[in-house]
Each structure stands twice: as C-alpha cells, then as structure tokens.
Structure 1
Amino acid sequence: MATSEAYIQYVCDQAAGAGALRYRKMFGEYMVYVNEKPLLTVCDDTVYVKRLPELAEELADAQTGAPYEGAKEHYILDVDDREKLLRVLAILEPLIPVPQPRRRKPPKAR
C-alpha cells in the first residue's frame, strides 16, 4: 500500500512551523524536506526517522521498523503528536546536511 497524497499533506500540515517544508515522491513513496534537508521518510502511510543517538531520549518509547526492504531500522514517528514531531524536527534539522547535487559523468568517448 503506497502512501496517499492526503496523508503526505497531513504530515506536512502537522510539521508546519518547523521550517520551509516540501515533499518529493521517490520510488513510489515520499521524502519530506525541512529547509532542504531530507528529514522524514514516509512509506505506506507511516513516518520514519533515522535512528540517531541525539533522538534516543525523545523517542525512547517509539516503535521501530524499516521503511523498505534492505533499509536500516528507523524510529516510527507518531505525527498525530504534533509537539513531539516539532521537537524531533528541531533536533534533526541542525544535524542533517543539505544534500549536495550529484555531478553528471561526461559521456564516454568512442
């Protein structure tokens, strides 16, 4: 079951105030960016956050799971708890760098 457009919009509505928000569809699911930093992975209407030591205390009671096959274990974030969501985003935002654009390889000479 893929994430619905309504659910990703709900996640962004709940995160309003955390910074400049946008989301991008990737491989049939979504990545939520705050200030151009990829902070939330949304798969099957579930919000995942990387397991970082800085989040251990805040998310000590959170369930864990993998957003997709082969992924490392992530925290599962309850976005209905808006205050916790905003605290988690405030912790993550300074830790995660803005992704650097990838350079395209020049075509091979024949």
Structure 2
Amino acid sequence: MATSAEYAAFVCEQIAPYGQVRSRKMFGEYMVYLEDKPVLLVCDNTVYVKKLPQVSDLLLTAPCGFPYEGAKEHYILDIENRELLDQLMPTLKASVSLPKKKK
C-alpha cells in the first residue's frame, strides 16, 4: 500500500513550523525534507526516522519498524505529538547533512 498524497501533505504541515519543508515522491512513498535535508520517510502512511545516535534518547520508547523491504530498522514517529516534534525536529535539522550533489 502506497502512501497517499494527502497524508504526505499532512506530515509536511506538521513539521512546517520548524523550517522550509518539501516532499519528494519516490516509488509510491515519500521522502520529507527540512531545509533540504532528508529527515523523514513516509511509507504506507507511517512516518519513519532513521536511527541516529543524536535522536536515540528522544525516541527511546518509540516503536520501530522497517519502512520497506531491505531497509534498516527505523523509529516510527507519532507525527501528531507536538511536544516530541518540538525537540526532535531541531535535533534532526542539526544532525542530518545535506545530500551530496551528483556529478
């Protein structure tokens, strides 16, 4: 089941207060960018965060799952938890680097 465009837009609305947001559709799923940094995966209408050391304390009790077959395990994010987003999004923005430019 692919992610709906409406759900991807909802996720973008939720993190819009933290900076410039955009999403990109890839294989029926979405990558969400904050300040051009890839911070969230949205697969099957579920939001995933890469397991980074910088966010492990914040997401210690979050459930985990695999966004797609062959992927590494990610945290599953409750995108409606504003208190968590207030801590998580600035941390992700500071921790994730910009994608490298293709030659």
Band the TM-score falls in, shorter-chain normalisation: over 0.9
Question: Percent identity, aligned pairs only?
Answer: 52
Q: What is the aligned-residue RMSD (CA, Å)? A: 0.9
- 2:6 matches 1:9: no
Q: Which runs of 5+ in 1 are unaligned?
A: 104-110
What is the TM-score when the length of structure 1 is the normalising length?
0.89
For residue 85 of structure 1, give the secondary structure of its aligned residue in structure 2. Answer: helix
- Counterpart-to-counterpart distance in 2, 1:21 and 1:53: 23
Q: Distance in 2 between matches of 1:75 and 1:16?
A: 20
1:43–1:68 contact (8 Å) kept in structure 2: yes
Q: Is the CA contact 1:15–1:82 (under 8 Å) kept in the aligned structure 2?
A: no
Shift of 1:59: 0.6
Structure 2: gaps spanning 5 or more residues:
none
- Name the count of aligned residue pairs: 103
Give the C-alpha shift of residue 83 in structure 1.
Answer: 2.5
Q: Who is 1:26 aligned against?
A: 26
Matched, 1:50 2:32: no
**What TM-score does the superposition give when structure 2 sets the normalisation length?**
0.95
- Looking at structure 2, the residues matched to 37 and 91 of structure 1 have their Cα atoms a distance apart, in angstroms, of 12
Deviations 1:54-99 (A, max 9, x none): 1111111100011000100000000011221232111111111111
Q: Which entry has the higher C-alpha Rg, 1 or 2?
A: 1
